[in-house]
Amino acid sequence: AQSVTQLGSHVSVSEGALVLLRCNYSSSVPPYLFWYVQYPNQGLQLLLKYTTGATLVKGINGFEAEFKKSETSFHLTKPSAHMSDAAEYFCAVFGWQFYFGTGTSLTVIP
Partner 1 sequence: EAQVTQNPRYLITVTGKKLTVTCSQNMNHEYMSWYRQDPGLGLRQIYYSMNVEVTDKGDVPEGYKVSRKEKRNFPLILESPSPNQTSLYFCASSLPQRGSNTGELFFGEGSRLTVL
Residues of the shown chain interacting with partner 1 in the complex, contacts defined by CB under 8 A = 9, 32, 34, 36, 41-46, 49, 51, 90, 92, 94, 97-98, 100-103
CB of 22 to partner 1, least distance (A): 15
Rg (CA), the chain: 13
> Whose Cβ is closer to partner 1: residue 51's or residue 80's?
51
Shortest distance, CB of residue 99 to partner 1, whole angstroms? Answer: 8
CA distance 94 to 103: 16
Tell me how far, at minimum, the Cβ of 38 lies from partner 1, in Å. 8
Rank residues 14 and 42 by Cβ distance to partner 1 and give the closer one: 42
Selection from 8, 2, 3, 1 nearest residue 76 by Cα: 8
Instruction: Choose between 42 and 80: whose C-beta lies nearer to partner 1.
Output: 42
- Whose CA is closest to 100, among 108, 89, 109? 89
Q: Which is nearer to partner 1, 40 or 110 (CB)?
A: 40
CB 84 to partner 1: min, Å: 19
Count Cβ atoms below 10 Å from residue 75 Cβ, excluding itself.
19
- Measured between its terminal Cα atoms, the distance across the chain in Å is 41
